[in-house]
Amino acid sequence: MAFPNANYVRMTVVKTLIPNPDIKWTNVYEFYDASLSGLVSVQIWKTIAEIVALFETNLMFQNATIDKIRIVDMFPADPSDPQNSVEFTPSPVLNGLLTPVSDLLPLTVCLHLKKETAYGRPGKVFMRNSLEENNVGSDNSPSFAFVAGQQAAYQAIVDSVLPSTGLDQHLTAGSSDNKLALISSPDGGSTIYARPVDQILVDGIVTNKFRKRWYNRESGGGIPV
């Protein structure tokens, strides 16, 4: 299978709880490669999508798994062409790798990652199923904050996992032509702006309702997927 001229793609990583597979949530990533033309092999983008999924498993507890990945051509020449998108389940199965040492926090409490670019606002990724009670203070506040050392500990995970998965090669300084980016188009594809991501930073903790549609678009929310 090949995408016609798929220079800009959106990848949606769908995750689920292993004990309750009806609970699903997503994160969204965008990539571009302006050098691609003609029929672009889907395998190029599937390989990168699996790298993204591996990155995410390092920030998920072991009770969650990657359910499926959806790849969509963001600006297809023919929007009705069924080859504009593909959906697949990673093989082998990709489960979360974090081992908790205390009670898990609710899925509405998210690890906030920033996708920093050279200019403009950063992108946002809200990672569910990444935090436990030992990470936060115990004042029973409705808002959550890291206890001393925990934000740095999560940043250390990100800094380690970026090169170990190869995702660092898709950041601005990496060698790959396929770049993780923040992509927008005010006119539906005639003019496209792509800001490559320089680095991924742990920015704190946020609460994020499952059905908040704005977050579904920006960073991954909840059901429906």
Where are the chain's structural domains?
A: 2-99+115-126+155-200
Higher pLDDT, 150 or 3: 150
The mean predicted confidence, pLDDT, of the chain is 87
Q: Give φ, ψ of 72 to 5 degrees.
A: -130, 135
In this structure, the number of other CB atoms found within 10 A of the CB of residue 188 comes to: 10
pLDDT of residue 109: 93
Tell me what the mean pLDDT of segment 167-189 comes to. Answer: 92
What is the H or E stretch that residue 182 is in?
strand 179-184
User: pTM for this structure?
Assistant: 0.89
DSSP state of 136: B
